[in-house]
Structures are given as C-alpha cells and as structure tokens.
Amino acid sequence: MTSPQNPLLQEWQTPFGLAPFDAVADTDFAPALDVALAAHRAEIDAIADNQETPTFANTVEALEAAGHLLDQVLGVFFTVAGADSNPAREALQRDFSPILSAHFSEISSNKALFERINVVWEGRDSLDLSDEQARVLMLTHRGFVRAGAALSGAQEERLKEIKGRLAVLGTQFTQNLLADERSWFMKLEEADLEGLPDFAIDAAVAAGEEKDAGGPVVTLSRSLITPFLQFSPRRDLRKRAFEAWEARGANGGETDNRAIAAETLALRDERAKLLGYETFADYKLETEMAKTPQAVRDLLMAVWKPARAQAEADAQILQRMMQDDGVNGDLAPWDWRYYAEKRRAAEHDLDEAALKPYFQLDRMIEAAFACANRLFGLEFKPLDVPLYHSDCRAWDVTRNGEHVAVFIGDYFARGSKRSGAWCSAMRAQAKFPQRQTPVVINVCNFAKGDPALLSYDDARTLFHEFGHALHQMLSDVTYESVSGTSVARDFVELPSQLYEHWLEVPEVLGEFATHARTGAPMPKEMLDKVLGAATFDMGFQTVEYVASALVDLAFHEDGVPEDPMAKQRKVLDDLGMPDAITMRHATPHFAHVFSGDGYSSGYYSYMWSEVMDADAFQAFEDAGGAFDSERARALEENILSTGGSRDAAELYTAFRGRLPGVEALLKGRGLIAA
C-alpha cells in the first residue's frame, strides 16, 4: 500500500521517524489520503469479517492497531493546514472534511464490527483484562454506541448525513474566521503610533511588511491588537480596531458565520435526540467529569457572581479615570484595556513596556524546559531537521539518556496560521502494536521581534501549551486511544493550567526574566510587583470567559435557538453582563465551539480544570514547595503518565487524596479573601 513517489506513504527513514516536510508537496495529500483510507477500510473489514470468536485481541486490539497509515497522512496534513495554510490546503480541508466524516461514520455503523465489540463487552467479566484493557474496551464500546452503532434504517442514514454536514460546517466556520482575520488591517500613520511602546511598534512594522502595506499596521492577531488596545490613547482608533475584532465572522457575505452557527446547533440537537438524549449538552457531558449540565451551571454561577461584582466595582474606577481624561460618555469595551493598563501602572507601578523586555521568548522557552527538568528530569537538545516552516524549532527530549519525545515549537504569528494557541501530537505515545514515542507540537501566535518579546499573558500561554506537551511527552500507556491528552475534555486542561503556576514561582522569574538588552535579572521590586499584580483585572478576565461558557452551555441545553445572536443577547442580559465587557468569544468567532465538537457544550472545562489546578498547586506548596520531588512524582504517576487509562476523578483523587472545591480557584483569582 505504499508508493515510491509519495513521501506520505513511506516508512520514514528520518531522525526519530519525523515527517519529511521538505519532501511533501500539497499535491501529495489527496492521493495519499485515498490510499490511506483504502488501507484502513481493508483493516476494518478484516476485523469485522473475521470468523473466529470475538476476543479482546482479535477485535479491540486489532482496532487499536488499524489506521497507522491514515494517522501518518492526517498528522502531517492537519499540522500544516492549521499552522501554515494556503489556498490549496484550505481547498483540501473542504474536500477532506466530508470524506473523513463519511469514512468514520461507515466504521461506527459497521454492524458486523459492532456485534463483535458487543460480544467482547458482554463477556468482559470472564476475560481477565488488565485495568487499562478494561478501560479501552469500555471506551470503545461506548464510543460506538454514542456514534450511532445501535441505530438502523432511516435513523442510521440521517445520523450519517448529520455528521457529514457538521464536518463541512466546522471547516467552513474555521476558514471564514481565518479569512476575516487575514484580510483586515488598519494602517497607522506616524502620529497614530503615539503612546505605543517600542515592542508594539516593532510588531506593527513587521505586520505591515508581511501585508506589504507600506507602513505599520494593526491586524486582528491577538498578540498585536491587545497591546494596541492597551496603549493607544487614540479612542477613535481603539474603537475601530475593537469593532473589527468583535465583528470577525459577522461581516456579511461569504465569510459570515452566523447561519453556520444556527445550522450547527440545530444539527447537534437532532443528533443528540437520535441517540436518545434530551439535549446535546446531556449527550456531550455524559463522558466528562462534570457529567450533567446542572453541575456545569452550578460551577459557573458560583464564579460568575463574585466576578461580576468585582468587574462592576472596577468599571466605576475606570469610568472615573476616563472622565478625568476629559472623555465624556460611558466606559466602552474599547476603553477597558487602555484604562486598566493605566490603572495597573498607577496602582502597581507596573509598566508593560518596561516589563516586556524581561520576557524574551527564548528565555521563557528555557524557563519552561528548566522547570520540566527539575520536576521530571527531562532534558532538551536542539535538533536540525526539516520542518514545515522556517519559524519552527525542534528538540530531542530525553531522560537519563533515553529518548522520550520530539518537541516542536512554532511560536510566531503569521497570516497562514489560524489564531490562538494549541498543542497537538503528530504521533502519540503507545506500546502497542509496537513502541512509539510522541512527536508533540506547540503552536502560538506571538509577535516577532529582535529579540521576540512576550507579554506576561503570552508567557503564561507558552507555559500553558507546554503543560499540554508534557501530558503527551510523559504518557506511559499501552494503547494509543488512551494516550496523552486522550482524556475527558474537562480534565485535559488540568496539566496545562497547572503548569502556568511555575511561571509565577519567584525563583523561576528571578533566573529567566532577564532584560533583552542588558541581560540583567528583573529587579526584585519589579518581580514583587509582577507577582502582586497576578490577580489584577481578574473580574474582567473572569466575566468575559464565564459569559462565553454560559452562552455555550445555553446554546446546547435550552433547545435550538432560531437566532443564535438573539439567544446570545438574552443569556447576557439575564446574567446582567456589564456593558463595558464583551464575551471573550462571541458566537460568529467562537471557534472552540463551532469549528468542531471539541469544546461544544464544553468551554466551561477550562474553569473546571482550574478548580483542580489551583488545588493541585496548593498540594506542592503544602509539601516542600513548587519543586517538591514527591509531589512531582505523584503528579507524573497519577496524571501525566496515565492519559485516559483510568477515570479522571479517580486519577485526581489518587494524586490529591480527595476532589477539590471551588474555594481555591476563587482565592487564586482574588475574588474572595485568601
């Protein structure tokens, strides 16, 4: 099933079996996918048509072993399609989405295959399975049932249609958003640069060069528009930039996402009802730690009330500051970050422009690596290998001299990359059917510079995504289906959010927060101010996040809205959303929820995980401190190495001795007294 002409179909004779990116052309993807799909289909047919009595080995393990070639092709394609897209790759995405949906629907509706799985499931008590095997069997059986394997006739056909259409809609939503983000920019004249720190001007100049705009520009990259909103004294320009940022996906024409969102919600509801669930939220949350929509709502509302109270108190202060500047009218969303930054500088004497030179990208990468070394004994050696873009870097990750993983970092914003930050595994860890070490990628959207400088939030993002990477790299399970981040959605953010805490450890900042020009460490006074301001403006940050999570939940819990935008307005009105704060992700650009099913009815999971990460870091502090070896070992043994091989609540309890409450989160966010 391999072709000497197509590098995607070969056994890669490269260092660590990395993809030969320099040999792959866009024209290779479609023919490679055809071959890989045919190979996978043949493997599935062989399992389904096997005349031997179904066993765990010849059915469940056989499924685990199937699809290697398909994983290889798609691992490369989805990496470049998300991080370095172009018109050809976007067209391929549109073509591949319904094809892949149909392929996996065909597998999940294969009656002979499901019957074999069901036989193994029904006889599970007599099989003498290991705990991990029992877990894999349960997840496999449940996955087929939830995918519709028990349906037949018209219901089965309709579910296939729904899945295919949802795949198309998710791809279109993502590409529309990328198109809006890529096409808009605002040129800045010399006078428009007033008040902007050097790092923001440098980023605007670099963006203008990329856009061939003949001068500096503001784009809709978060790493550029956020500092512009923080520092520009030009209220008219802030308003123009913010409204463009808020309008992504809602500009009319071919890239408008509002109709896509409405159709997506209707199809999800229909899908859930076909499978016997009252709502899509009930269907989605069944497999999560939260289990029920009510448990999610209880958590979010417990946080919403103190967060809104804090945000409203902060708004009054910012309003007075604006009036003192001689600006009439009410505080608006494009004013908040500007006046919050001025307030932060005044109250904490913390100047972002003076702070940013201490957060060099390279030094923060070193810091993330150094913490991983102290906690888990990992070492990182640069690799000189072909990658998919010149911005990318790679490292060989070892422990005690033994290869553990390859880590790839792709850190800079560019027009070919979708917004946000993410971690993915081009190859996941597994021991069956043979040992394979992971290849893990962190993708971010930081502004370029010489040197590249990060905001404190950017540095947190880097640590966050590296926490996901550690979950992949330290995985130590047998089966790929439960490897690494293959866990409940509201558990997957625990390792990433927990790792952010090490950025705040004073000795870490003391060593790695060094000035870009002088190399001097951050002065203790500034370090104290950074740590003291950690909860600054947390009312705003919490409100914009929780509002998004509650809208997501309402979309999937309260029936199908005819007009999602009207539903969004009603939810926010009922909550008493402060006028000067918007959702972190409004519906037309809520990619977490509408680019696929990943975070649909699940955006709350960041906060669910934060309840655990606040409590988990407290465990380190209660022991020997941030680098306590016993706690680090317990974290790796019970969470980072175990993937989804055990229930998430069981894993957390094994690490901590109990499940957490919301108090540590509220204290950590400064929303209640410590």
pLDDT digits (tens, 9 = 90+) for 182-235: 999 999 999 999 999 998 999 999 999 999 999 999 999 888 999 999 999 999
Residue ending a domain, among 128, 150, 172, is 150
Percentage of the chain lying above the pLDDT 90 cut: 89
Place of tokens 């020009």: 517
Task: Decide if 441 contacts 466 (C-beta within 8 A).
Answer: no
Region 45-73 average pLDDT: 98
The answer to whether residues 133 and 210 belong to one domain is no
- Could you write out the DSSP letters of every residue in 441-482? EEEEEEPP-SS-B--HHHHHHHHHHHHHHHHHHT---S-GGG
The answer to whether residues 12 and 34 belong to one domain is yes
Identity of the highest mean pLDDT range in 93-102, 545-554, 652-661: 545-554
Look at residue 645 and tell me if it is in a domain: yes
What radius of gyration, in Å, describes the C-alpha atoms of the chain?
25
Q: Check pLDDT > 80 for residue 1.
A: no
192's tokens: 């428009």
Measured torsion, CA atoms of residues 314, 606, 595, 361, in degrees rounded to the nearest 10: 80
The C-alpha atoms of residue 495 and residue 477 are separated, in whole angstroms, by 17
Q: What is the CATH number of the domain that holds 382?
A: 1.10.1370.40
pLDDT at 662: 86
Identity of the residue numbered 576: G
Residue ending a domain, among 603, 630, 654, is 603
Region 315-324 average pLDDT: 97
The C-alpha atoms of residue 623 and residue 634 are separated, in whole angstroms, by 12
Of 220, 162, 250, nearest in space to 587 by CA: 250
Beta bridge partners of residue 360, listed in sequence order: 453
Q: Report helix, strand or coil for 28.
A: helix
Percentage of the chain lying above the pLDDT 70 cut: 99
- Domains contained in the chain, number: 4
Helices (H), 332-455: 333-348, 352-355, 361-376
The C-alpha atoms of residue 545 and residue 604 are separated, in whole angstroms, by 9
- Catalytic site residue from 43, 61, 465, 636: 465
Measured torsion, CA atoms of residues 115, 120, 122, 128, in degrees rounded to the nearest 10: 180
Q: Check pLDDT > 90 for residue 351.
A: no
Q: Check pLDDT > 50 for residue 67.
A: yes
Give pLDDT tens digits for 2-49. Answer: 456 899 999 999 999 999 999 999 999 999 999 999 999 999 999 999
pLDDT at 229: 97
Look at residue 102 and tell me if it is in a domain: yes
63's tokens: 């499924």
Region 125-131 average pLDDT: 97
pLDDT at 2: 45
Task: Decide if 39 contacts 1 (C-beta within 8 A).
Answer: yes
The answer to whether residues 140 and 280 belong to one domain is no
The answer to whether residues 587 and 484 belong to one domain is no
Region 58-69 average pLDDT: 98
Look at residue 178 and tell me if it is in a domain: no
Look at residue 247 and tell me if it is in a domain: no
471's tokens: 């979950």
pLDDT at 416: 92
Beta bridge partners of residue 393, listed in sequence order: 409
The answer to whether residues 74 and 116 belong to one domain is yes
CB burial of residue 227 (10 Å; 0-12, 13-18, 19+): buried
The answer to whether residues 508 and 584 belong to one domain is no
In angstroms, the Cα distances linking 491 to 161, 556, 645 are 31, 20, 13
- Where does the pLDDT of residue 600 fall: very low under 50, low under 70, confident under 90, or very high at 90 and above? very high
pLDDT at 663: 85
**Rounded to an integer, what is the distance from CA 420 to the centroid of its chain?**
8
218's tokens: 């503001």
Contacts of 634 (CB under 8 A, 6+ apart): 655
pTM: 0.85
Of 303, 308, 223, nearest in space to 609 by CA: 303
Residue ending a domain, among 603, 624, 640, is 603
Q: Check pLDDT > 60 for residue 168.
A: yes
Sort residue 402 into left (φ over 0), alpha (ψ -120 to 50) or beta.
beta
The answer to whether residues 599 and 611 belong to one domain is no
pLDDT at 667: 87
The answer to whether residues 338 and 431 belong to one domain is no
Q: Check pLDDT > 80 for residue 594.
A: yes
pLDDT at 571: 97
Q: Check pLDDT > 80 for residue 353.
A: yes
Counting every residue written for the chain, the total comes to: 674
pLDDT at 282: 96
Task: Decide if 220 contacts 419 (C-beta within 8 A).
Answer: yes
Domain that holds residue 259: 254-350+538-603
Q: Phi then psi for 169, rounded to 5 degrees?
A: -65, -40
Q: Phi then psi for 385, rounded to 5 degrees?
A: -135, 155
Neighbours of 142 (CB within 10 A): 13
pLDDT at 42: 98
Q: Report helix, strand or coil for 217.
A: strand
Region 410-416 average pLDDT: 94
Task: Decide if 562 contacts 222 (C-beta within 8 A).
Answer: no
Region 507-531 average pLDDT: 93
Q: What is the mean pLDDT of the chain?
A: 95
The pairing of strands 393-399 and 402-412 is antiparallel
Contacts of 320 (CB under 8 A, 6+ apart): none
Look at residue 156 and tell me if it is in a domain: no
Look at residue 163 and tell me if it is in a domain: no
More confident residue, 448 or 380: 380
Q: What is the CATH number of the domain that holds 286?
A: 1.10.1370.10
Task: Decide if 60 contacts 137 (C-beta within 8 A).
Answer: yes
The answer to whether residues 22 and 98 belong to one domain is yes
Region 351-365 average pLDDT: 93
Cα dihedral sign, 503-506-507-510: positive
pLDDT at 3: 52
The answer to whether residues 425 and 563 belong to one domain is no
Task: Please compute, for residue 362, the number of CA atoms within 13 A of its CA located in the half-sphere on the CB side.
Answer: 12
In angstroms, the Cα distances linking 286 to 122, 272, 417 are 21, 12, 33
Q: Is 379 part of the annotated catalytic residue set? A: no
Q: Phi then psi for 50, rounded to 5 degrees?
A: -60, 125
The C-alpha atoms of residue 240 and residue 460 are separated, in whole angstroms, by 28
Look at residue 119 and tell me if it is in a domain: yes
pLDDT at 673: 56
The answer to whether residues 229 and 338 belong to one domain is no
The C-alpha atoms of residue 557 and residue 571 are separated, in whole angstroms, by 12
The answer to whether residues 409 and 505 belong to one domain is yes
In angstroms, the Cα distances linking 465 to 77, 587, 648 are 21, 24, 20
Region 379-405 average pLDDT: 98
Identity of the residue numbered 480: E
Region 477-495 average pLDDT: 96
pLDDT at 528: 87
Look at residue 155 and tell me if it is in a domain: no
